[in-house]
Structure 1
Amino acid sequence: MSDRDVFLPVGAQPTLGDLVEQAVTAEDLGYDRVWFPEGWGRDVVTPIATAAERTERIGLGTSIANVYSRSPTLLGQTAATLQEASDDRFRLGVGPSGPIVVENWHGEDFGNPLRRTRETIEIVRQVLSGEPVSYDGEYFTLEGFRLRFDPPETQVPIDAAALGPKAVELAGRFADGWHAVNYTRDGVTPRLEDLERGVELGERDPDEVRVTLSVCCCTLEDGDRARELVAQHIAFYIGGMGEFYRDNLVRQGYEDVANEIYDAWQDGDHGHATALVGDELIDQMGAAGTPSEAREQLSQFTDLEGVDAVNVSFPRGADPEEILETMRAVAP
């Protein structure tokens, strides 16, 4: 049985206080870790630092800090500081995001995201060692930086988000874990083979590379409303967040419906895109319905071989009460 984590929608909550209260609730409900994203809402560091002060046991992590919006050195400084603030409960998740975010929002050239992710992980590890940073890479040539405080006594694990085969292989080779996002229940298994190949190339201990699978969950007494919210969420990511999520679904055997959802969303017909998701895809990518239905569906993810933690996430259209209702219904 895998661990049960929770993914909080940083930008969607009315106040920072609401968000931190959800982290406190997650700890009270027995979740193992709470992950905070960073997109176009609040930054990721402030909520984690605030939650670290309000909680005692639950793990805290970034899912995902992208490797273009902060320099690797700053990410290392941030990881060291949050490890101190949380009394060694922090885990750093990084990833390249996509060109829509990187180029349109941050004004950076997307370039070679795999290489940049690798270099970021390697530099962050140097920073966290407390030794002087010396690095000569394709993207970064650094010399002379060193933390001016004692590095964390407990190593900060670094996870990488990845979609395609080579990216997942990279996570296995260089990171301490892989974040699998927008995968079907059946589609994650072939990528685990890519992860294992990366572990072998990096001569890593496979038991030390952690797999965290995100599952969009919504459990309401109105089961139809819950399933509609999850369908909307899936349609948004497949159709509205660039081509990466669409292409990832194609690789998992859903070429026709992935392209249809994408085309409908791009044409502005969001209702049709949502309707195209269908029951099969909802059940393959999420856990939605009444509380008993959703718990049964979620168990099919938590029992997957090779998955160390299931990350309970919430549809983007869910309001704070629906998020809390779901969090309570599928708690460990």
Structure 2
Amino acid sequence: MSMRWGMTVPLSGVALAEHQAVFQALTEAGFTDLWSSEVNGADAFTPLALAAAWTPGMRLGTAIAPVYTRGPGLLAMTAAAMADAAPGRFQLGIGASSPVVVGDWNAVDFTEPYARSRDVLRFLKAALAGEVVDHEYDTFTLRRFRLERPPATPPPVLLAALRPRMLRLAAAEADGVILNWLAAGDVPTALAETKSAGPEFEVAARIFVCPTEDAGYARNVGRRLIAAYLTVPAYAAFHRWLGRTEMLTPMWQAWSTGDRKGALAAIPDSLVDDLIVHGSPAECRAKVRSYAAAGITVPVMALLPTPALESGGAPTLIKTLTELGSPTLN
């Protein structure tokens, strides 16, 4: 069983300036990892920079920093600074992100996501090792770039991947892979594509957790998330590959005609229960452990809102984090 136990930060409803208490509660609850995301909330690095200072024992990771929205040199500098601030504790997770995040919100062309991810991965491995990079990649060209402050301990670089080609790239060239939007039962299918990886290869997964025993509420939250994400072409293709074409076609058809209510209604309870962990904190912990049993080395919870969390304030949040803590301490 994995001894790593992660949480996605920052947590909703808590100002970044007030996260020191949150990080301390996570540490005391037995969490080992803090992982950030980057969509349209906080950037991927600021919460981790705070955590580097406030929680000197925690491992830190990005899941993910997009490969388009920063220039390659800036991405390398940012990763090097984080590795310098948290030596031996930082992991850089990169990925293609999505046309909405990259194109609609950051005004960058979302083209050739596989090639761009591969090229940025190769550049980062060289740059973070302190090498001079003077190379014409397929998707960009760099001339004589070298980090002024290369990290003494280069951070591992993990690649977000969904389908076989990207999974195999991660196994061949990255230090680990980051999975998302899959059930525990899907993990072996994904990892079958990474068999060539070495023994130190990390497998991180973001797992959506809604700690409430009100199944109706949790399923409503889950349906909205599933409709928002699994209609994105990359995630739709991922779930077709996983064998869910028949199950998801009614949702996709309703969504394509603009029938949002119909799309939500077409998502079966069984799919929500597979993709969204919900129940009491103890039940949630057990379900997250099932991902570790399936091969995830770094299960990373992404905490979803519940009525209790939204009304109970900081005491309820801290209590919930404690209850979701590492099974080795509970």
Category of TM-score, reference length = shorter chain: 0.7 to 0.9
| Secondary structure of the corresponding residue to residue 233 of structure 1 | helix
Q: Kindly tell me the number of residue pairs found equivalent between the two proteins.
A: 320
TM-score w.r.t. length of structure 2: 0.88
The match for 1:289 is: 279
Deviations 1:235-263, CA, capped at 9 Å, x for gaps: 32123xx2211221122121133232234
1:72 maps onto 2:72 in alignment: yes
The match for 2:220 is: 228
Deviations 1:78-100, CA, capped at 9 Å, x for gaps: 11101111233111000001222
Gap change, CA 1:270 and 1:254, over 3 Å in 2:
same
Deviations 1:83-126, CA, capped at 9 Å, x for gaps: 11123311100000122222212222222111111111111122
Confirm or deny: 8 A CA contact 2:134 2:142 kept in the other structure: yes
Confirm or deny: 8 A CA contact 2:213 2:278 kept in the other structure: no
> Separation in 2 of the partners of 1:122 and 1:314?
33
- Which blocks of at least 5 consecutive residues in structure 2 are unaligned? none
> Separation in 1 of the partners of 2:158 and 2:97?
14
Gap change, CA 1:44 and 1:295, over 3 Å in 2:
closer
Confirm or deny: 8 A CA contact 1:157 1:176 kept in the other structure: yes
> Separation in 1 of the partners of 2:281 and 2:57?
26
Confirm or deny: 8 A CA contact 1:184 1:252 kept in the other structure: no
Deviation at 1:210, TM superposition (A): 0.8
> Separation in 1 of the partners of 2:102 and 2:154?
29
Gap change, CA 1:271 and 1:296, over 3 Å in 2:
farther
Deviation at 1:218, TM superposition (A): 1.4
The match for 1:202 is: none
- Map 1:71-110; keep pairs closer than 5 Å: 71-110=71-110
The match for 1:215 is: 207
Gap change, CA 1:25 and 1:278, over 3 Å in 2:
farther
Letter matched to residue 295 of structure 1: R
> Separation in 2 of the partners of 1:327 and 1:265?
35
Confirm or deny: 8 A CA contact 1:233 1:317 kept in the other structure: no
Letter matched to residue 331 of structure 1: G
Deviation at 1:21, TM superposition (A): 4.0
- Which blocks of at least 5 consecutive residues in structure 1 are unaligned? 200-205
| Secondary structure of the corresponding residue to residue 49 of structure 1 | helix
Deviation at 1:324, TM superposition (A): 5.0
| Secondary structure of the corresponding residue to residue 195 of structure 2 | helix
| Secondary structure of the corresponding residue to residue 109 of structure 1 | coil
| Secondary structure of the corresponding residue to residue 266 of structure 2 | helix
Confirm or deny: 8 A CA contact 2:219 2:273 kept in the other structure: no
Identity of aligned residues (%): 30
Confirm or deny: 8 A CA contact 1:64 1:95 kept in the other structure: yes
> Separation in 2 of the partners of 1:49 and 1:267?
43
Gap change, CA 1:316 and 1:291, over 3 Å in 2:
closer
Deviations 1:159-198, CA, capped at 9 Å, x for gaps: 010111101111111111100101122222122121224x
| Secondary structure of the corresponding residue to residue 154 of structure 2 | coil
Gap change, CA 1:167 and 1:74, over 3 Å in 2:
same
| Alpha-carbon RMSD | 2.4
TM-score w.r.t. length of structure 1: 0.87
Letter matched to residue 186 of structure 2: G
- Map 1:150-189; keep pairs closer than 5 Å: 151-189=150-188
Q: Answer with 229-238 or 70-79: which moved more.
A: 229-238
> Separation in 2 of the partners of 1:268 and 1:289?
32
Letter matched to residue 299 of structure 1: R
Moved over 6 A (4+): none
> Separation in 2 of the partners of 1:249 and 1:9?
28
Gap change, CA 1:23 and 1:278, over 3 Å in 2:
farther
> Separation in 1 of the partners of 2:245 and 2:43?
34
Gap change, CA 1:82 and 1:260, over 3 Å in 2:
same
| Secondary structure of the corresponding residue to residue 187 of structure 1 | helix
The match for 1:313 is: 302
Deviation at 1:14, TM superposition (A): 4.8
> Separation in 1 of the partners of 2:249 and 2:234?
12
Confirm or deny: 8 A CA contact 1:233 1:316 kept in the other structure: no
> Separation in 1 of the partners of 2:188 and 2:118?
23
Match of 1:261 among 251, 256, 261: 251
- Map 1:8-87; keep pairs closer than 5 Å: 8=9, 12-19=12-19, 21-87=21-87
The match for 2:5 is: 4
Gap change, CA 1:323 and 1:115, over 3 Å in 2:
farther
The match for 1:273 is: 263
